Amino acid sequence: MTDRIRIAPSILSADFAAFGAECEAIEAQGADWVHVDVMDGHFVPNLTFGPAMVKALRPHVKTVMDVHLMIAPADPYLAAFAEAGADVLTVHVEAGPHLHRSLQAVRALGCKAGVALNPATPAEAIEYLLDDIDLVCVMTVNPGFGGQGFIGSQLEKVRHLRAMLGDRPVHVEIDGGVTPETAPLVAAAGADVLVAGSAVFRGGSVANPAPYGANIRAIRAAAEAALRAPEPV
């Protein structure tokens, strides 16, 4: 699945008063996906928004709406987020007692099924679910806040996951601390979807979106350069 790097800006770093326009701006500037972080103030120490906001954003997103549920329990809300327009629904391993059932429910609702691994959650936690997922999200920061530093120990987890997945058509997504400096590391390890918040939105605005495009291109170029680099001897 590393044939192409996809950049998924996280709107957690966008202007909250102009979410719809921000989604349109990042897509116009080259974003492949739009990453929507849903937080409940319980599973993570922050509170963002729910299905109503996702539904309001949907008309402004023409690409892929990648909805990351940092909530527990997640199961009671899957249908609401699917109906709101999510294309990908990602739940955390720890967000419910029956992860396999949660993933089945996501697919039954017509969404791609994602599973997220916190920094302390081992790759082996999803070893027996690899045929039931469309995406695995490796958290390279602790979930809950944007702007955190990249946790380098997760690179080995990415490599391990890519080996475990084999030729399965499953995306490996990185969420947290993605910059032009860290993008090559995660791409070389096997990631193909890069979530970036502050690194995309820094320096720009709806009125001046050009920096968004420059930031997206810088992250993409750095990641793709790593894929073209020769294997070490």
3 annotated active-site = no
Amino acid (one-letter) located at 230: P
Residue holding tokens 């936690």? 125
pTM over 0.75? The answer is yes
3-class secondary structure, 72: coil
* pLDDT tens sequence for the chain (233 residues): 456 999 999 999 999 999 999 999 999 999 999 999 999 999 999 999 999 999 999 999 999 999 999 999 999 999 999 999 999 999 999 999 999 999 999 999 999 999 999 999 999 999 999 999 999 999 999 987 766 789 999 999 999 999 999 999 999 999 999 999 999 999 999 999 999 999 999 999 999 999 999 999 999 999 999 998 766 54
Give me the catalytic one of 37, 66, 132, 134: 37
3-class secondary structure, 9: strand
- The region that residue 199 occupies, defined by phi over 0 for left and psi between -120 and 50 for alpha, beta otherwise, is alpha
Give me the catalytic one of 75, 132, 134, 175: 175
CA 219 to centroid of chain Cα atoms: 15
- The region that residue 190 occupies, defined by phi over 0 for left and psi between -120 and 50 for alpha, beta otherwise, is left
134 annotated active-site = no
